[in-house]
Amino acid sequence: ETGVTQTPRHLVMGMTNKKSLKCEQHLGHNAMYWYKQSAKKPLELMFVYNFKEQTENNSVPSRFSPECPNSSHLFLHLHTLQPEDSALYLCASSQVSGSNEQYFGPGTRLTVT
């Protein structure tokens, strides 16, 4: 266990549904990240939060809406997704001061039908 948990682990949703992914870190970190992992593509950075403030949006479509209520929790709200959004969504956390060691959760396997 890395100290980063994600729920749910698997999610199937229709294109008109609204769902949310949750991430929680128990490491005392203050930066959190969302990455997308698609088959045969590198992990893609989506969003970065530094002390609850969003510091990076890597040109992600507005159908993905992140929320970071505190340094330990991160959400990804999903609505009107497309089948090509099916992927493994990974959350990571790190400590802002010093190194950039990022610790990942197990991911949420999302399938959009």
Partner 1 sequence: GENVEQHPSTLSVQEGDSAVIKCTYSDSASNYFPWYKQELGKGPQLIIDIRSNVGEKKDQRIAVTLNKTAKHFSLHITETQPEDSAVYFCAAGNSGGGADGLTFGKGTHLIIQP
Which tokens hold the place of 8? 């749910």
Residue 11 CA to its chain's centroid (Å): 14
Q: Can you tell me the distance from the alpha carbon of 9 to that of 88, in angstroms, rounded to the nearest whole number?
A: 9
CB of 91 to partner 1, least distance (A): 8
**Could you give the C-alpha distances from 9 to 57, 66, 89, 110, in angstroms and in order?**
24, 18, 10, 8
Q: Choose the stretch contacting partner 1; rule: CB under 8 A; options: 11-19, 62-70, 79-87, 88-96.
A: 88-96
Please say which residue, 16 or 69, places its beta carbon nearer to partner 1. Answer: 69
- By CB under 8 A, tell whether 56 contacts partner 1: yes
Residues lying near partner 1 in the complex (CB under 8 A) are found at: 2, 4, 6, 30-31, 33, 35, 40-43, 45, 48-50, 55-56, 58, 90, 94, 96-107
